[in-house]
Structure 1
Amino acid sequence: MNRIRRIKLPKIEDRRGNLSVLENDILPFTFKRVYYLYDVPSGASRGGHAHKEQSEFLIALSGSFDVLINTGFETQIYTLNRPDEGLLIPNGYWRELDNFSSGGICLVLASDVFKEPDYIRNLDDFLASKML
């Protein structure tokens, strides 16, 4: 399925603290790269691109942030603020990450290693590709 969706992660509750597990069988892809965004200044935006092939899974490990998704035809905003739930973003969607709370941390699991040719970094180019 090539659609944006929230995926709930297993949560093991314990009086000593909670634990969530993320294994490859939870996602529709095997992740090949993991990175995280943190110390994002107030008012700053991250992302601002689409992928031709790569899919990503985003989790708010701490705090919160908004993920603006543009399909080329409509825009939707997803707020991530739970470490036991993530947002699956398949390829072909423009994404921007905004409104990071103080201490907000975004963990990203990507379906591939970094490849610059996979990125569409200009919104007009992205929108034009959707009109083809």
Structure 2
Amino acid sequence: MRFLEMPVFEDLRGALTVGHLPGEVPFQPNRYFMVFDVPSKDVRGEHAHKVCEQFLICVHGSARVVADDGHDRQEFILNHPRKGLYLPAMTWASQYAYSPDAVLLVFASHAYDADDYIRDYAAFLTLVDQQDAR
């Protein structure tokens, strides 16, 4: 997992942020999705992907992300369109504390595949241990 500051270009007409593919976004996205209108009490995510990588940008409002690679757990606040969070494969992630106006844009390296999801944290830790043993 890696927290990135996206480049911003500002002038009298406003601001523009850009991410190159690959570059700031470290993979070629195959899909994107946006999460919005999430009640602040709800938690989203709570899973990992076996192969899919993700890049998260809160383009409006704010949300918190807890990311866990099976060894280290970190919390990030996405509260500006210039802040991006890279989640490599095999990263357990949960998003919560969405502001009422939050719009979370997610780029994904792979098309949706239900078999790529790990939805049980204990199973995730077992897979991490198996990978570490190799």
**TM-score calculated relative to the size of structure 2:** 0.90
1:72 CA displacement: 1.7
Q: Does 1:18 align with 2:36?
A: no
**Which whole-Å deviations, capped at 9, do the CAs of 1:58-84 have from their partners, x for residues lacking one?**
001011111111222332111111101
Provide the residue aligned with 2:72 in structure 1.
74
Any residues of structure 2 matched to 1:121-132 within 5 Å, and which?
Answer: 121-132=119-130
**TM-score calculated relative to the size of structure 1:** 0.91
The answer for unaligned runs of 5 or more in structure 2 is none
Aligned length: 129
Any residues of structure 2 matched to 1:1-132 within 5 Å, and which?
Answer: 4-26=1-23, 27-132=25-130
The answer for unaligned runs of 5 or more in structure 1 is none
**Which whole-Å deviations, capped at 9, do the CAs of 1:39-93 have from their partners, x for residues lacking one?**
1002101101101001000001011111111222332111111101200000011
Which piece of structure 1 moves more, 48-57 or 12-21? 12-21
1:16 CA displacement: 2.3
User: Aligned partners of 2:50, 2:5: CA distance in 1, in Å?
Assistant: 26
SS at structure 2 position matched to 1:131: helix
Amino acid at match of 1:9: M
1:21 CA displacement: 1.6
* Identity over aligned pairs, percent: 36
1:28 CA displacement: 2.0
User: Aligned partners of 1:104, 1:74: CA distance in 2, in Å?
Assistant: 27
Q: Give 4+ residue runs of structure 1 displaced > 4 Å after superposition.
A: none
